[in-house]
Amino acid sequence: MVHLAALPGTPNAHLSVDQIADFAAAEARVLINTGFDAVIVENMHDRPYVNGRKPPEIVAAMTRAALAVRANAQTVGIQVLSGGNQEALAIAQATSLDFIRCENFVFAHVGDEGLQPTAEAGPLLRYRKSIGAENIKVFCDIKKKHASHAITADISISESVEAAEFFGAEGIIITGTATGKPAAKSDLSAARKTTKLPILIGSGVTPDQVQPLFDFGANALIVGSWIKKDGLWTNPVDPDRCELLVKARKSRA
């Protein structure tokens, strides 16, 4: 995971777009050089997030950063927080990325940035069709972290996965309750029993968990905290921690 520095217009912004892109490219090189298979670009430093459509300066800056990362990695995805899924598709198409990460693909929930009342699947896949971006895969969070799912408490993980697959998801992302919190093995197991789609784990991955997560049916692991200095997502990527995580993956083979 490459967490972009705060983008123009957000509360913590202090770098130029060129600097943001250069730092993103440098972190992507560390990840690829230490053995990671893919990179996801995300604007996590834009907190506090505003749900919905994104202003042009955010889209432009993320496009610039995505281009810089794409030049250093073969497989790249993007997530635009929060709820910027059409923007993510547009950036991905313009910069030849491979996939996007989508929140709220099916069902409503209450995120820490507010109510997300409309499932993204219908408008998002129609938009993808309209711009000719069907080659860009959509990987979807299920009962995502940093959210309350009380309004869908009667819908199980399995039922959510079934709905996402029925609506056209091309990958399922299972998370814990928050950034850095591990996903429940029971959630992963339930999802694996429900679908043959790729399943990605989207939070709380550590070297000790690599083997068990793959054993329980995960196809890929998204890591954005443990690989940073001192294991804090706000810190720069730590090459030594990256190598330890990749070593844990290779020891499984």
Q: What number is the average pLDDT over the span 163-190? A: 91
In the chain the domains, ranked by start, together with CATH numbers, are: 2-252 (3.20.20.70)
Query: What is the pLDDT averaged over residues 201-227?
Result: 93
pLDDT class of 251 with cuts at 50, 70, 90: low
Q: What is the pLDDT of residues 111-128, one digit of tens each?
A: 888 888 899 999 999 999
Report the chain's mean pLDDT, rounded to a whole number: 94
Q: Give me the sheet containing 109-111, strands edge to edge.
A: 114-116, 109-111, 147-148
pLDDT at 245: 95
Mean pLDDT of 182-203: 93
What is the CB-side half-sphere exposure of residue 84 using CA atoms within 13 A?
23
Considering only 20-29, 213-222, 231-240, 243-252, which range has the smallest mean pLDDT?
A: 243-252
Share above pLDDT 90 across residues of the chain, in percent, rounded to a whole number: 82
Q: 14 falls in which pLDDT band (50, 70, 90)?
A: very high
Contact (Cβ atoms closer than 8 angstroms) between residue 28 and residue 72: yes
How many degrees, rounded to 5, is the angle at CA 66 between CA 139 and CA 214?
A: 35
Instruction: Kindly indicate the confidence band of residue 183, based on its pLDDT and cuts at 50, 70 and 90.
Output: confident
Residue type, 199: I
Q: What is the pLDDT of residues 70-86, one digit of tens each?
A: 999 999 999 999 999 99
**pLDDT for 91 beyond 90:** yes
- pTM tops 0.85, yes or no: yes
Compare 23 and 253 and report the one with higher pLDDT. 23
Mean pLDDT for the stretch of residues 161-183: 91
Determine contact, residues 193/238, Cβ cutoff 8 Å.
no
Spatial neighbors of 127 by CB under 8 A, at least 6 apart, are 86, 89
For residue 116, what pLDDT is reported? 87
